[in-house]
Amino acid sequence: MVAKENFEALINEGIAALIPIYEKDQGNTSIVVLKNGKEIRENRTVKALISRMARHFGKDLTLIRKEYGRVIHRRNGVPLPLSSFYIMIPVKFREKPFSLNDGTLGYVSFYEIEKVKEKDKKRSLILFRCGKEVEVYLSLSTVNSYLKDAKLVSKINEDKENMENKLRVIELLSELFSKSS
């Protein structure tokens, strides 16, 4: 298992995807695909890893899903803006779970996606900027819809961060001028 500190380093290095896999002896585990294409096995579930990423950026996944779900009019499949450079899109990597606690969802980083192509009517291939390709159990039109939603979430998140930065500057200037008076 990758230690907590090492996973933090992977986040800083750049994650392209979190993919659920089933290991016979370990059950539901994950593969972390880095933006350079390197794959790292992780004994934790995708759910645990995305929660860890959210904590790293000081984000509450429940609030993010609720806030941005309202914007895109969806409860499930909501893109997660964890930072200005991480918009994580939930995608289905397995057709069916192996057992009760096995998840089918993984996450791909919006900014690392080069292109998407159809594999068949129910599956698509996502090609990352690093050249790595992954298969997802979503139609091409569904993936394109998710990308469109991620783009909207990205824009709203960027505008929100810009507004927060402007408010911080106003607060600092206000404090500065009130101290000098």
Segments making up each domain of the chain, as ranges: 4-180
> What's the whole-number mean pLDDT along residues 126-146?
96
Residue 156 CA to residue 97 CA, distance in Å, equals 33
Q: What mean pLDDT value characterizes the chain? A: 88
Residue 49 CA to residue 131 CA, distance in Å, equals 23
Q: What is the pLDDT of residue 25?
A: 80
pLDDT tens for 60-70 read 999 999 999 99
What lies within 8 Å, CB to CB, of 71 at 6+ separation is 152, 153, 156
pLDDT tens for 54-95 read 999 999 999 999 999 998 998 888 999 999 889 999 999 987
> What's the whole-number mean pLDDT along residues 161-177?
76
